[in-house]
């Protein structure tokens, strides 16, 4: 068989896995301080959860989903993002029912059928946070702050990230604006690429996302939503900015920032970095989705959240020269001189571990010399040597690997002796 992982997936070997754990722990601690609680939702959902939530016309739904039928003929889809499932779960369990609110975070893999490249995988990991049942602009500022603080906490220098901010309007002002953009595109049709022309009817705002230089140039003259926000949206947006100012979170207004999921309303944001991501630039992003719960048939429930990518965050950290997650270091290595004393070494290591120390030993009857090499490689500060001599006198030898001092201790006292020597 082919031992290689499927295209677009990777094994997270210990070095990467440690970074994953570091990021997860950082999030658990930080998000907890902001009042968020963990939630785990299924890795797959009924396909409709995503098609209705994310939007039929989006790239994700139209060409990137892992959709399959189970043995009963249900259409299921591996989650391409985390928000839809969390909102669905909140609806199912009434987590934000009747005016209550919920603050939830999750971490885990997402799946999108794409051509892999730097910072882009078919299975990729995200941490996300969602607030359901909160409409106030201070909530937007709070969750944006959390996102920025997370990146700071793991070690991305502030001067390497940019927070982009925009408002997408709501059902009161977006439809009219959308129509204006559509008209604009139709008018400029000849100057825009084929894809953008197609977008005119399906999702005109996405034309702002086109990287084609000519399209970018043309779209630069397109009407901006900022100039046609309804009063409520404009007010909300201003308030979000004021709250960010209050806590000193720097942002750059990006009136053309349009994110790839249809459920966003009002606030959208994205954190970009300049180094390490190849042709990608966003390490995290999110926004408000005040109509998503209704889309699922639930009561009107405002919501907002963000997601950040593990892989991209790690790339940004590496580019910034941040060393994440050192390998665990062995405190003490237990060396056996010959086969007769190996049971004693085995027991000694077990006792040291039971007492809370990190102990290692050889199981392959290697020479004493190679056991020392191993001890050195593992970074052991002490080596407990057990041999015929020691056993005869009921003692063990304890060598300090840094100073090379060797002392003896009674076998029965080895735990205490090692602990005191470890300081």
Binding site for RNA (CB under 7 A): 4-8, 10, 58-60, 81, 112, 114-121, 124, 126, 195, 206, 209-212, 258-261, 270, 278-285, 307-309, 311-312, 337, 366-370, 372-377, 383, 385, 387-390, 397, 399, 401-402, 404, 406
Give 117 or 187: the residue with its C-beta nearer to RNA: 117
> In the bound complex, what is the minimum distance in angstroms from residue 302's beta carbon to RNA?
19
Q: CB of 100 within 8 A of CB of 91?
A: no
> In the bound complex, what is the minimum distance in angstroms from residue 232's beta carbon to RNA?
25
Give 59 or 136: the residue with its C-beta nearer to RNA: 59
Helical H segments across 247-320, by residue range: 292-295, 310-319
**Helix, strand, coil percent values for the chain (each to nearest 5):** 45, 20, 35
Task: Give just the sign of the alpha carbon dihedral 207, 208, 210, 213.
Answer: positive
> In the bound complex, what is the minimum distance in angstroms from residue 9's beta carbon to RNA?
7
Q: What are phi and psi of 103, to 5 degrees?
A: -120, 115
Give 210 or 422: the residue with its C-beta nearer to RNA: 210
The Cα–Cα gap between 188 and 100 comes to: 47
The Cα–Cα gap between 132 and 371 comes to: 56
Give 287 or 298: the residue with its C-beta nearer to RNA: 287
Residue 137: how many CA atoms within 13 Å on its side-chain side? 18
Helical H segments across 64-211, by residue range: 83-93, 137-154, 174-188, 194-202
Give 304 or 308: the residue with its C-beta nearer to RNA: 308
Q: What are phi and psi of 334, to 5 degrees?
A: -105, 115
> In the bound complex, what is the minimum distance in angstroms from residue 6's beta carbon to RNA?
7
> In the bound complex, what is the minimum distance in angstroms from residue 205's beta carbon to RNA?
10
> In the bound complex, what is the minimum distance in angstroms from residue 208's beta carbon to RNA?
9
H/E stretch holding 16: helix 14-33
Q: How far apart are the first and last CA of the chain?
A: 51
> In the bound complex, what is the minimum distance in angstroms from residue 60's beta carbon to RNA?
7
**Residues sharing a CB contact under 8 Å with residue 204, sequence separation 6 or more, in sequence order:** 178, 181, 182, 185
The Cα–Cα gap between 189 and 200 comes to: 9
The Cα–Cα gap between 203 and 259 comes to: 11
> In the bound complex, what is the minimum distance in angstroms from residue 108's beta carbon to RNA?
13
Retrieve residue 40's tokens: 């785990």
> In the bound complex, what is the minimum distance in angstroms from residue 99's beta carbon to RNA?
28
Q: CB of 36 within 8 A of CB of 128?
A: no
Give 123 or 145: the residue with its C-beta nearer to RNA: 123
Distances (CA, A) of 372 to 188, 361, 408: 75, 10, 18
> In the bound complex, what is the minimum distance in angstroms from residue 156's beta carbon to RNA?
12
The Cα–Cα gap between 137 and 130 comes to: 14
Of 126, 124, 41, 103, the C-alpha closest to 304 is 103
Give 24 or 239: the residue with its C-beta nearer to RNA: 24
Residue 216: how many CA atoms within 13 Å on its side-chain side? 6
> In the bound complex, what is the minimum distance in angstroms from residue 72's beta carbon to RNA?
28
Give 233 or 383: the residue with its C-beta nearer to RNA: 383
């Amino acid at each position: 068989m082919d031992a290689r992982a499927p295209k677009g997936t990777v094994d997270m070997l210990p070095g990467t896995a440690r970074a994953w754990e570091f990021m997860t722990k950082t999030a658990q601690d930080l998000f907890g301080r902001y009042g968020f609680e963990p939630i785990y939702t299924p890795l797959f959902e009924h396909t409709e959860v995503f098609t209705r939530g994310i939007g039929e016309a989006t790239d994700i739904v139209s060409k990137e989903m892992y959709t399959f039928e189970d043995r009963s003929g249900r259409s299921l889809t591996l989650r391409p993002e985390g928000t839809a499932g969390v909102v669905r779960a909140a609806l199912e369990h009434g987590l934000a029912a009747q005016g209550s609110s919920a603050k939830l975070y999750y971490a885990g893999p997402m799946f999108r059928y794409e051509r892999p490249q730097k910072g882009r995988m078919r299975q990729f990991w995200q941490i996300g946070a969602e607030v359901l049942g909160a409409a106030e602009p201070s909530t937007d500022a709070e969750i944006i702050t959390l996102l920025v603080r997370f990146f700071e906490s793991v070690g991305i220098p502030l001067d390497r990230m940019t927070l982009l901010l925009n408002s997408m309007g709501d059902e009161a002002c977006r439809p009219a604006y959308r129509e204006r953009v559509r008209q604009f595109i139709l008018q400029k049709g000849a100057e825009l690429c084929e894809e953008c022309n197609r977008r005119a009817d399906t999702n005109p705002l996405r034309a702002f996302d086109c990287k084609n230089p000519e399209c970018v140039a043309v779209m630069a003259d397109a009407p901006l939503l900022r100039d046609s926000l309804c009063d409520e949206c404009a007010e909300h947006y201003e308030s979000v900015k004021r709250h960010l100012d209050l806590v000193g979170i720097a942002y750059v207004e990006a009136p053309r920032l349009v994110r790839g999921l249809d459920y966003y309303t009002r606030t959208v944001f994205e954190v970009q970095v300049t180094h390490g991501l190849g042709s990608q630039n966003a390490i995290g992003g999110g926004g408000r989705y005040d109509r998503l719960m209704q889309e699922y048939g639930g009561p009107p429930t405002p919501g907002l959240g963000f997601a950040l990518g593990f892989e991209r965050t790690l790339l940004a950290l590496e580019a910034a020269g941040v060393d994440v997650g050192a390998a665990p270091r062995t405190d003490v290595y237990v060396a056996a001189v010959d086969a007769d004393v190996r049971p004693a070494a085995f027991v000694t290591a077990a006792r040291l571990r039971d007492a809370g120390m990190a102990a290692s030993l050889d199981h392959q009857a290697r020479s004493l010399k190679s056991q020392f090499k191993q001890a050195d490689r593992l970074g052991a500060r002490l080596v407990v040597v057990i041999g015929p001599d020691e056993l005869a006198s009921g003692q063990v030898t304890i060598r300090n690997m840094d100073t090379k001092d060797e002392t003896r201790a009674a076998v029965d006292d080895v735990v205490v002796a090692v602990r005191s020597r470890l300081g």
